[in-house]
Homo-oligomer: A and B are copies of this chain.
Amino acid sequence: MKRYERHADAIAQLIHSGALRPGDRVPSVREASRTRGISPSTVFEAYYLLEAQGLIHARPRSGYYVSARLPGTAEARPAEPLPSQPAATSTGVAISDLVFEVLGLARDRDLVPLGSAFPGLELFPLERLARCLASGMRKLDPWNIVQSLPPGDERLRQQIALRYGVHGTAVDVEEIIITNGAMEALNLCLEAVTQPGDVVVVESPTFYAALQALERLNLQALEIATHPRDGIDLAALAEALERQPPHQPIKACWLMPSFQNPLGSLMPEGKKRELVALLAHHGVPLIEDDVYGELHFGPQRPPPAKAFDTEGLVMHCSSFSKSLAPGYRVGWVAAGRQATAVQRLKLMTTLSAATPSQQALSEYLAQGGYDRHLRALRRSLEQQQAIALAAVAQHFPRGTRVSRPEGGYFLWVELPPPVNALELHRLALQQGISLAPGQIFSADQRFAHCVRINYGHPAQHRLQAALATVGQLATRLAMGAAEHQASPNCY
């Protein structure tokens, strides 16, 4: 945490505690500089940050004041999206073409990447990782290359098992298989427990890559109602498990219990426990996508559903790609009773994860400092979220709803229904901004008026400006569409 961030934090706490109230004047720069023993420029930086977060605002020639409508208070922030209402029956998936079209358009260095699936690369210790890579490979015994074969480097698997243990989840080193990122882990798990035509449960909305995996393996998607705050609706899931005809049972659930993509929802611990018990009762395996689990804003890492698994039915998939080492392609699965099946599929399809990447991660974890990096990363993402929420509140059309996740780097924004997210995306691209339109998050493209916004790229002014632009475009579409809808009556 930098000095100006510490100072901003102290002021923010005074505001949140009520010691400083709306309309109160914040200590002047000179005053703060003297009493705190920090330079005026540091105080300025702190105030700019607080201003961006919507907590204070400047009055010309007068100084900074606590804002009247705080982003954290009910009157200022847009409402939360309502729980989804997916179709009741399973469906084939044919979404991949649309997904690739959308993603393809967004792959341009100059775009403001609000549509990206990745956080900003400047948030990661790339230089230190490169040094770990070099020292890991210098120490390399060539036999390590053989050791890199599935299940993967022994030392790395031990370090991963240790992290599970520290967080209170008992995982056996032997069930951990190193993969090319979580994406491969998830795909292999799905392949291990399904046959073409089988039904698989996903959240509604769900990460488009899950839909693409289902499409690739010719599986049926059964989308289940999901709350933007606490995740999948267990009653709806229980009912689906009972209702499904015996000749076509649910063969797996692919869920993100912590910081779901795109909703950001976090299932409370008790609900995760219930989920695992429900699935165990039906003997249905859970493919748990937990790539954002380390990006919590609260003090504790939320336990994965895996923590409550006593049957070996939960396949917990994660990676270092979103939390430490983007591009290194090191993920894993703790695959429970499917460990052998997954390991064999891994061997058959891609043989092994790259030795240099495995060595680098193993070396980094052995040196220590991962948790320090994570703390800085989480704080940065939390600050960015405040900035993004404030900008959405300020610029987006009336009737907008927005999620308020307790971790990760996505907002799920529900725009007034006339807005078509694909059209908004097209217009935003023309302004140099990408978005992830809601249509790609459901097999039946039902989230046509929603967008997922990535706030994980720490360039505050760029983020604010881009959200102002998107808000204006959305407002215009909301109004234009209303006019357009009204127009038939005019003729």
Contacts and interface: CB of A to CB of B under 8 A. Distances in A.
Interface stretch (A49-57, A130-138, A269-277, A444-452): A130-138
A354 interface: yes
A298 interface: no
Nearest to A149: B107
Contacts of A165: none
Contacts of A23: none
Contacts of A345: 216
Number of copies: 2
Contacts of A179: 350
A334 interface: no
A467 interface: no
30 contacts: A96-B344, A109-B146, A121-B142, A126-B140, A126-B142, A130-B137, A133-B133, A145-B327, A180-B329, A180-B350, A180-B351, A180-B354, A183-B351, A184-B349, A187-B348, A187-B349, A213-B349, A216-B345, A216-B348, A327-B352, A327-B354, A327-B355, A327-B356, A328-B355, A329-B351, A329-B352, A329-B353, A329-B355, A349-B349, A354-B357
B109 A143 contact: yes
A148 interface: yes
Given A140-B130, A344-B100, A145 B326 contact: yes
A328 B351 contact: no
A96 B354 CA distance: 23
Nearest to A183: B351
A137 to B, nearest CB: 4
A212 interface: yes
Contacts of A148: 327
A411 to B, nearest CB: 22
The secondary structure that dominates the A interface is helix
Nearest to A148: B327
A278 B39 CA distance: 78
Contact of A350 (B149, B181, B347): B181
B350 A360 contact: no
A328 B356 contact: yes
Closest 5 CB pairs of A and B: A327-B355, A145-B327, A121-B142, A134-B134, A130-B137
Nearest to A138: B130
Contacts of A209: 348
A203 B144 CA distance: 33
Nearest to A180: B350
Interface of A: 96, 100, 107, 109, 118, 121-122, 126, 129-130, 133-134, 137-138, 140, 142-146, 148-149, 179-181, 183-184, 187, 191, 196, 209, 212-213, 216, 326-330, 344-345, 347-357, 360
Contacts of A96: 344, 348
Contacts of A181: 350-351
A351 B213 CA distance: 12
A71 B105 CA distance: 62
A329 B328 CA distance: 12
Given A107-B149, A129-B137, A183-B348, 8 more contacts: A126-B137, A145-B327, A148-B327, A183-B349, A187-B348, A328-B355, A329-B355, A356-B357
Contacts of A109: 143, 146
Contact of A329 (B130, B144, B350): B350
Contacts of A357: 354, 356-357
Contacts of A100: 344, 347
B142 A213 contact: no
A254 B138 CA distance: 38
A119 to B, nearest CB: 11
Nearest to A109: B143
A353 B353 CA distance: 9
Nearest to A139: B130
Nearest to A124: B142
A349 B130 contact: no
Contacts of A348: 96, 183, 187, 209, 212-213, 216
A133 B133 CA distance: 8
A356 B330 CA distance: 11
B350 A133 contact: no
Nearest to A348: B212
Contacts of A133: 133-134, 137, 356
A137 B355 CA distance: 15
Nearest to A97: B344
